[in-house]
Structure 1
């Protein structure tokens, strides 16, 4: 069975993403001839054509598309391994937890208190992000994250369910729906919704939102409305109201961490989070 070197994957990925040997060589800081030879040698070793070469264009073959997908996974894993190793060797080790502002279901203070009571607990560094928190886990920039199903891609992550909540429509008190006791998603037709980091512009989305304070301010200014977990009710301003959304899918707060993680400090954090969540939901036996 042929084994692949990381260097070969780096070379191939550059060519596959640029679809141009000259641009790929410039990106890699090398000249084009040795790059072309390296890709040809890789194809000979694998026994398949990875690229279709024409006089004016380069295209991926089906095998090349597979290798590009797998190469990205391997290279991301290698980068994450390097970051985790560097962080593990720090003289001031700590646990990095990524959270969405206001997205902890009200559990985080109790979780942090419970964790600090665990033997061998590390200081916890909180990183707030409305963006792709799961990406920070895969890149080795964080140890754990609080996420909400069903939206994120949890591939490659282990999870612990913490809290399942119904969802509320958050709107200004002057909004046409503010007097309703319940609404449905159809009632929101035409309403601008938040555009989270990474969401394409256009459609029914309003301005991009980066933190909870900004989101609530934009809602108060009638720039958008938002459907959020019911625990948000405790953080609303006086000029906002929350109305239950009957047909919005419940959202589950989950604690996620990389598969095959072996950190005792992380394991203790997961135990503490699970215990706090069980007590909060009345499932502590």
Structure 2
């Protein structure tokens, strides 16, 4: 089989995401016949059909769905290789660490202090963009990232777990569930759980930051399902109730598999040491609130 080129993968992904050859060609700055020819050539060389085409619609075949997933990864890896090579050529080493604001469970300052004492340490640039930190990591804009599962997809990444904690629902005081001592996930079915920090099976208002989440929750448009470390940073007039069967929120430090950077290894080592210290000190602090107690609204 001839080698597949990144240009061909980019063309395929454009069509797969638009499911329309005309719109994809316009976005790529190509003539539609040229794009169609390139995709058909790719299908012949791979000996598979990637798209089911009719006069009214374009759909991915099972083979096309597999290639879309793999092509995105391959294109991200190529972009990451180029970005990291360019940075290495500038001669000023540093690490880019992606983190969501207020998303480090209070551990990051201690991690960085521990890391700075390591002989392999280089300066760390904190990337606090609200966009997907996994994408920043996979395409080379970040060397490491603080991720939260089950919200972020850490598949294929090296990780160090820093903290695991229970979650609670954040509710308006007049919500029908606000007087409950504890909740289960089944109690939240049909509720508009904010999707930024919600549970995967729920639908609700999509939010990009905590400030918006608090606004929509205060107005009764959504409820939030948040880890303890996040709740501890908030000033609100809302009610928190433990959700006892929600999967724990896990804070991870993640980096690409196969990374050989001594600086990345040093930061991962510092993170593990700080996390171990934290677990040792807080071994007895296992629950969000005592069973049978809900936190009443907090005054401003």
Distance of aligned partners of 1:217 and 1:46 in 2 relative to their CA distance in 1, 3 Å threshold? closer
Question: How far does the alpha carbon of each residue in 1:65-87 deviate from its partner, in whole angstroms, 9 at most, with x for none?
Answer: 54444333322221222122223
- Paired residue secondary structure (2:226): strand
User: Is the CA contact 2:173–2:239 (under 8 Å) kept in the aligned structure 1?
Assistant: yes
In 1, Cα distance between equivalents of 2:112 and 2:101:
16
Question: How far is the alpha carbon of 1:29 from its aligned partner?
Answer: 3.3
In 2, Cα distance between equivalents of 1:135 and 1:259:
14
Question: How far does the alpha carbon of each residue in 1:147-186 deviate from its partner, in whole angstroms, 9 at most, with x for none?
Answer: 1222322222111111111112223456555554433334
In 2, Cα distance between equivalents of 1:218 and 1:37:
48
Distance of aligned partners of 1:54 and 1:237 in 2 relative to their CA distance in 1, 3 Å threshold? closer
> Which runs of structure 2 are paired with 1:148-163 in the superposition (5 Å)?
148-163=148-163
- Paired residue secondary structure (2:121): coil
> Which runs of structure 2 are paired with 1:75-94 in the superposition (5 Å)?
75-94=75-94
Q: CA RMSD in A?
A: 3.4
1:205 is aligned to 2:195: no
Distance of aligned partners of 1:221 and 1:94 in 2 relative to their CA distance in 1, 3 Å threshold? farther
1:239 is aligned to 2:226: no
Residue 265 of structure 1 corresponds to which residue in structure 2? 263
Residue 282 of structure 1 corresponds to which residue in structure 2? 280
Distance of aligned partners of 1:53 and 1:148 in 2 relative to their CA distance in 1, 3 Å threshold? closer
- Paired residue secondary structure (2:152): coil
Residue 292 of structure 2 corresponds to which residue in structure 1? none
User: Is the CA contact 1:137–1:145 (under 8 Å) kept in the aligned structure 2?
Assistant: yes
In 2, Cα distance between equivalents of 1:204 and 1:71:
28
- Paired residue secondary structure (2:265): helix
User: Is the CA contact 1:19–1:58 (under 8 Å) kept in the aligned structure 2?
Assistant: yes
Question: How far does the alpha carbon of each residue in 1:3-41 deviate from its partner, in whole angstroms, 9 at most, with x for none?
Answer: 222233334444555566555544443445555554454
TM, length-normalised to structure 2: 0.76
- Paired residue secondary structure (2:232): helix
In 1, Cα distance between equivalents of 2:38 and 2:243:
57
Higher strand share: 1
> Which runs of structure 2 are paired with 1:172-251 in the superposition (5 Å)?
172=172, 177-189=177-189, 191-196=191-196, 205-206=204-205, 208-237=206-235, 239-251=237-249
TM, length-normalised to structure 1: 0.80
Structure 2, unaligned runs of 5 or more: 282-300
Distance of aligned partners of 1:218 and 1:124 in 2 relative to their CA distance in 1, 3 Å threshold? farther
User: Is the CA contact 2:196–2:209 (under 8 Å) kept in the aligned structure 1?
Assistant: no
User: Is the CA contact 1:131–1:196 (under 8 Å) kept in the aligned structure 2?
Assistant: no
Q: What is the aligned length?
A: 280
In 2, Cα distance between equivalents of 1:281 and 1:64:
45
Distance of aligned partners of 1:119 and 1:64 in 2 relative to their CA distance in 1, 3 Å threshold? same
In 1, Cα distance between equivalents of 2:221 and 2:235:
16
In 2, Cα distance between equivalents of 1:188 and 1:60:
34
